Amino acid sequence: LQKMYDEPVYGLGVLPGTYEGGRPALNAARSLQSFVNKVDNFIAFDNDAWRSRGQTIEQGYEEMNEELATRIVTLLAAGEVDESEVGENAMDSSDIMRTLDTGGVSSIGYASTDVTPAKEGLLANFKETEEPQSESTDAAKIKGLVRRATNSRLTVPCDVSSADRALIV
């Protein structure tokens, strides 16, 4: 695919669990290195890290797939917005491509929070509010959210300090 297209090629691999036996693990180990070399970035998902104790893959299949899909869609859809006005510092696909342009293996963390919608209309800017929105409070919320994401279950366990790049979506 890399030879046919000018677009980056990303791979997604689900690593087999130890409960699946030796053959799937051996196959994964043999093919992982060559697969990583054939894609621009490989996003890994470790079944063992996500399966609850005593749970079979079939029992956790839907939950694990939903968790993985949430992370992948959040990452790859970042910057995809509707026709409304977009801020000057909006993220776009080039930010994602630059982050994933390591030629290695990626792990994705995830945390989310609800945001308070901005006031609408011209007169909303002139109304007094009981408590002014503090930038330092917003920064603290963002810092806490980033901390939650990096300390969450990653798609594949790793030491986040070993990361070459990070992207906050």
Locate the domains of the chain by residue range.
10-162
How far apart CA 41 and CA 45 sit, in angstroms, is: 13
* Strand 41-46 to 105-106 pairing: parallel
- How many CB atoms are located within 10 Å of the residue 156 CB? 20
| Cα angle 45-75-144, degrees, rounded to a multiple of 5 | 90
List, for residues 84-112, the tens digit of each pLDDT value: 555 556 677 888 888 888 788 999 999 98
List, for residues 137-165, the tens digit of each pLDDT value: 778 888 898 899 988 889 999 998 888 88
Average pLDDT, the chain: 80
Look at residues 1, 26, 14 and name the one whose alpha carbon lies nearest to residue 60. Answer: 14
- Site of tokens 């030491």: 159
Q: What is the pLDDT of residue 83?
A: 55
Please tell me the pTM assigned to this model: 0.74
What's the distance, CA 133 to chain centroid?
29
